Amino acid sequence: MSNEQTHDTHEDRVPPGAIVIGVDGSDRDHSCIRYGAGAASRTGRPLHLLHAQDIAVELAAANPIAARGLAFVPDFVLDSGVLRDALAWTREEFPDIDVTGSEPWMHPEEALIEASEDAYLIVVGSSRISGLERILLGRSALAVSLHSRCPVVIMPEGGRTDIDGPVVLGFDGSEGARSAARRAFWVADLRGAPVRIITSWYAEVVDGSVVTTPGTPAWEQVESGYRRMVEEGIADIRSEYPNTEVDIQVVRGPAAEVLAKQSADASLLVIGSRGRGGFRGMLLGSVSHKVLETATCPVMVIRDKKQKS
């Protein structure tokens, strides 16, 4: 279907296998759309823009009493223009990509999580706190990172958005990390980029003593053990991509800080999520959460398929 045919069409559901971009009318929308469009172009998939509207929030600004207990969308509520403008910009910038959009009346995080049932990838933005090197991981980004049924890319405000540079993978030997490794190798192969695998350690004890001195036999023993863990953990995945350059680095330091530093020259940082619990009791692994707040490149969060929301 051509863009001309879909120009004024809003889809009720996400086209199966689409790359979904969460838009909200902010300055972050264009960087998210550009990233999603690049992924759509490389994979031949359609692009779907989703702008969720919370009717209670919309009305509360004007009439808090009327917004209480609202269970329907009144006829007088008009679309905000956010989706219409985003669709027009996207189709002008990327005329060769099939683009659709939807504007459901529900919480943004609920709409994106529901969309993830059909989506191939979800892309959402985050805001940098003024004057700080930390990202404000909003409610939608946090919830979708934890509960999405497909991979999620968090786009940091003011961060790198190009695809030059290695695909960096945070690896700790868990099943979640192996799921992340599969995706990282696939993305790197698609882009013709190298994979840089980072595993970190901080406090290790050898023969009753804490290891602190680089170059000592104890230090080398710890590093070789972690390197062996990585090599064994990715051996089968690596064999599927024999032409992909792989760099394994064992780094001493807090995992989140190490990965944030590695994001400086990365095109993408891929991590697994150890989230668990129900929607109200959601918990994103502390390392994953801190990485999302401090990384300076797009971060892809992969949930182990065995995890349940």
Q: Which helix (H) or strand (E) holds 82?
A: helix 82-93
Place of tokens 């999405």: 148
State the CATH number of the domain containing residue 184.
3.40.50.620
The reported pLDDT for the residue numbered 209 is 66
Longest dimension (CA), the chain: 74
The reported pLDDT for the residue numbered 185 is 98
The reported pLDDT for the residue numbered 68 is 44
Burial (CB count within 10 angstroms: exposed 0-12, middle 13-18, buried 19+), residue 305: exposed
* Same domain (yes/no): 120, 227: no
* Same domain (yes/no): 127, 179: no
Contacts of 148 (CB under 8 A, 6+ apart): 112, 113, 116, 122, 301, 303
Mean pLDDT score across all residues of the chain: 80
* Same domain (yes/no): 296, 173: yes
Task: Please say which residue of 100, 135, 156 terminates a domain.
Answer: 156
* Same domain (yes/no): 191, 152: no
Decide if 260 contacts 200 (C-beta within 8 A): no
* Same domain (yes/no): 75, 139: yes
The reported pLDDT for the residue numbered 129 is 52
Task: Answer yes or no: is 12 within a domain.
Answer: no
Contacts of 297 (CB under 8 A, 6+ apart): 156, 159, 160, 165, 168, 263, 264, 266, 267, 268, 269
- Structure tokens of 264? 């400086």
* Same domain (yes/no): 149, 181: no
Contacts of 131 (CB under 8 A, 6+ apart): none
* Same domain (yes/no): 26, 134: yes
For the beta carbon of residue 29, count every other beta carbon within 10 angstroms. Answer: 22
* Same domain (yes/no): 102, 178: no
* Same domain (yes/no): 136, 253: no
CA 31 to chain centre: 13
* Same domain (yes/no): 99, 190: no
Burial call 231-263: b when 16+ CB within 10 Å, e when fewer: eebbeebbeebeebebebbbbbeebbbbbbebb
The reported pLDDT for the residue numbered 121 is 96
Decide if 156 contacts 295 (C-beta within 8 A): yes
Task: Answer yes or no: is 223 within a domain.
Answer: yes
Q: For CA atoms 247, 253, 254, 259, give the dihedral sign.
A: negative
Decide if 112 contacts 144 (C-beta within 8 A): yes
Decide if 204 contacts 222 (C-beta within 8 A): yes
| Dihedrals phi, psi of 155, to nearest 5 degrees | -95, 115
| Dihedrals phi, psi of 141, to nearest 5 degrees | -60, -40
Task: Answer yes or no: is 9 within a domain.
Answer: no
What is the number of domains present in the chain? 2
Decide if 19 contacts 46 (C-beta within 8 A): yes
The reported pLDDT for the residue numbered 32 is 93
Task: Answer yes or no: is 308 within a domain.
Answer: no
Under-70 pLDDT residues of the chain: 1-12, 55-80, 127-140, 158-161, 205, 207-209, 274-285, 304-309
Nearest to 21 by CA among 92, 93, 86: 86
Task: Answer yes or no: is 262 within a domain.
Answer: yes
Task: Answer yes or no: is 294 within a domain.
Answer: yes
* Same domain (yes/no): 152, 171: no
Task: Answer yes or no: is 13 within a domain.
Answer: no
The reported pLDDT for the residue numbered 145 is 82
Contacts of 71 (CB under 8 A, 6+ apart): none
- Structure tokens of 118? 């059909």
Task: Please say which residue of 156, 180, 195 terminates a domain.
Answer: 156
* Same domain (yes/no): 25, 151: yes
Task: Answer yes or no: is 261 within a domain.
Answer: yes
Give the structural domain span for 172: 167-303
